[in-house]
């Protein structure tokens, strides 16, 4: 029998992989439990009690589909952001929205793969979607551990790229640009280039880093993505949203999963927006935890990089092999962290903010690991 593939040539050419290895997989492989889960940029402080109460109440109605128009959540977000509901698109986390954005722009039937610009070492899930929808990834190196805005702009112009991704603050380094520089970058792009401005960590960074909603809301080639996964502590609920012009927002309706949101998650997101006092408390806890991580690093001869996120990148002062040995060594003590994937960023390890018991485990385990190396 002649060999054949039932899948498209594109799918057949892709590796069967996921961008991240989760702590659950590591637990299954090692046979031991993770004691300090401080590697996935989750919020270990958790959601507000009011959010848990709203989600518990909503569970009784889980037999019903969520509103496919996401009317109540859009209304709550619009009031919070001071924009119109028509400026919003809702998705199952930012990851889902990123896939939809790539699908909206990249034509897999193009005679040559369409170029998409990202930073080399930036958020890998976006690259995963670019490959999955037939795009051609063009990468720009970081400069001084920050995404290079001039380099991204040059690459867009050189490649005539229809899509560019820029995260502010950045993952995996935690660095950021100020709002005026972000706006200047967006307005310098060709109108034929759609900018994905990923602001997943906007609640944990300085206010000066984030343009006002009005500053970019009139630009149909800018989509700002945000999430309830980080500061609001709802990563497992999968609630993300995009802010853009009404016309661009409507385009999502053509391809999104209209019943993709679940009622419990939506109820939690609406409750989270109402409880800004708790958000302020958590943001303060995250800041204190970042300082604790930096102090632990310094006590062990390592250097913490400035961070505007809910994690800290720590320069280990050597190469990727050394950083990997630290990551693996900490896991043997039940401490789960991660590291950037490419040079020169991979000289670092990345540790998420978390409650004090997790920090205490890190403080105990790290010197033991370093001594063993």
Using alpha carbons only, how large is the chain's radius of gyration in Å? 21
pTM of the predicted model as reported, rounded to 2 decimal places = 0.95
Q: Write the pLDDT tens digit of every residue in 122-144.
A: 999 999 999 999 999 999 999 99
Identify the residue whose tokens are 């959010």.
51
Residue 3 within a domain: no
Q: What domain count does the chain have?
A: 2
Residue 3: pLDDT band (50, 70, 90) is low
Do 174 and 263 lie in one domain? The reply is yes
Pairing of strands 88-91, 240-243: antiparallel
Q: Do 256 and 145 fall into the same domain?
A: yes
CA-angle at 240, arms to 60 and 25, nearest 5°: 80
For 234, counting Cβ atoms within 10 Å of its Cβ (0-12 exposed, 13-18 middle, 19+ buried), the class is: buried
Which of 274, 297, 318 is the endpoint of a domain?
274
Nearest 5°: phi and psi at 178? -80, 160
CA distance 57 to 64: 14
Q: Determine the pLDDT at residue 57.
A: 98
Residue 12, domain member (yes or no): no
Domain limits at 135?
49-274
CATH number at residue 153: 3.40.640.10
Q: What is the pLDDT of residues 45-85, one digit of tens each?
A: 999 999 999 999 999 999 999 999 999 999 999 999 999 99
The H or E element that residue 37 is part of is strand 36-37
- Is 221 part of any domain? yes
Distance in angstroms (rounded) separating the CA atoms of residues 177 and 169:
7
Q: What is the mean pLDDT of residues 253-261?
A: 96
The residue among 295, 364, 283 whose CA lies nearest residue 45 is 283
Q: How confident is the model at residue 15 (pLDDT cuts 50, 70, 90)?
A: confident
Task: State the average pLDDT for the chain.
Answer: 96
pLDDT tens profile 182-222: 999 999 999 999 999 999 999 999 999 999 999 999 999 99
Classified as helix, coil or strand, 169 is: coil
DSSP bridge pairs for 304: 314
């Amino acid at each position: 029998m002649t060999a054949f593939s039932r899948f498209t040539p594109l799918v057949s050419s892709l590796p069967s992989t996921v961008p991240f290895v989760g702590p659950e997989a590591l637990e299954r492989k090692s046979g031991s439990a993770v004691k300090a889960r401080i590697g996935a940029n989750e919020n270990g402080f958790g959601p507000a009690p009011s959010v848990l109460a709203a989600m518990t109440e909503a569970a009784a109605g889980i037999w019903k589909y969520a509103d496919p128009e996401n009317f109540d959540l859009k209304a709550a977000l619009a009031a919070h952001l001071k924009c119109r509901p028509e400026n919003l698109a809702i998705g199952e986390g930012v990851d889902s929205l990123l896939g939809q954005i790539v699908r909206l722009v990249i034509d897999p039937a193009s005679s040559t793969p369409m170029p998409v610009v990202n930073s080399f070492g930036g958020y890998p899930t976006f690259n995963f979607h670019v490959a999955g929808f037939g795009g051609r990834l063009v990468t720009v190196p970081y400069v001084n551990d920050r995404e290079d805005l001039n380099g991204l702009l040059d690459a867009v112009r050189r490649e005539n790229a229809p899509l560019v991704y820029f995260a502010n603050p950045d993952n995996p380094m935690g660095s950021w640009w100020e709002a005026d520089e972000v706006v200047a970058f967006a307005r310098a792009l060709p109108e034929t280039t759609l900018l994905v401005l990923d602001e997943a960590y906007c609640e944990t960074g300085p206010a000066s880093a984030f343009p006002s909603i009005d500053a970019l809301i009139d630009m149909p080639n800018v989509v700002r993505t945000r999430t309830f996964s980080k500061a609001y502590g709802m990563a497992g609920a999968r609630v993300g949203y995009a802010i853009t012009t009404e016309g661009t927002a409507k385009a999502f309706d053509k391809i999104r999963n209209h019943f993709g949101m679940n009622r419990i998650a939506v109820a939690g997101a609406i409750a989270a927006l109402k409880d800004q006092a708790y958000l302020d408390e958590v943001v303060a806890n995250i800041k204190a935890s970042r300082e604790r991580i930096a102090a632990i690093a310094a006590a062990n001869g390592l250097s913490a990089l400035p961070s505007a996120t809910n994690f800290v990148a720590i320069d280990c002062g050597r190469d990727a092999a050394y950083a990997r040995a630290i990551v693996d060594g900490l896991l043997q003590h039940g401490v789960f962290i991660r590291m950037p994937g490419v040079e020169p960023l991979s000289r670092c390890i990345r540790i998420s903010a978390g409650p004090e018991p997790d920090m205490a485990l890190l403080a105990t385990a790290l010197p033991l690991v370093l001594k063993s190396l």
